[in-house]
Amino acid sequence: MVVLRSRFEIAESKRRIFTRDLYRCQYPGCRATGEGQIEVAHRIAQTSSNEKDIRQWLRDEIGTDWTLAMVRKKIIHHRLNMVTSCRRHNDYFNIGFNRLKMMELVRRIYDDVKEGL
């Protein structure tokens, strides 16, 4: 079963993130504001390597077997994994290189998703 997000879902998700973050770059001290200057950044980037690592971690640590599409929709595109950033500071928010921080965030997101079921 493939789980895809519609264009409406993607646009609505971005709108919520922009609104939550007050249309500002969340890097401390940065003054960039407005949709033209900021973008939605993933803390854990949407890469096949990250998706496979998360899927394996969910199997090993949680005992759940999600498809890669489910990992993408429920973890990678979750609101806790996204933040507004200007292009200059986008890399600051990337935690994909730090496995411990990455899996701590995955656990928080998984718990949030589980509560919503």
State pLDDT tens for residues 36-77: 899 999 999 999 999 999 999 999 999 999 999 999 999 999
Domain-embedded: residue 2: no
pLDDT of residue 9: 82
Look over the chain and give the mean of its residue pLDDT values, rounded to a whole number: 92
Q: Which domain holds residue 71?
A: 7-115
Residue 1 has pLDDT above 60, yes or no: no
**Closest by CA position to 25, among listed 105, 88, 94:** 88
pLDDT of residue 35: 73
pTM: 0.87
Residue 116 has pLDDT above 90, yes or no: no
Q: Over pLDDT 70: what percentage of the chain?
A: 95
Domain-embedded: residue 35: yes
Domain-embedded: residue 1: no
Q: Report the C-alpha gap between 100 and 10 in whole angstroms.
A: 28
**pLDDT band of 8, cuts 50, 70, 90:** confident
Mean pLDDT of 17-22: 96
Residue 27 has pLDDT above 80, yes or no: yes
Domain-embedded: residue 34: yes
Number of domains the chain is built from: 1
At 4, is the secondary structure helix, strand, or coil? coil
pLDDT of residue 117: 62
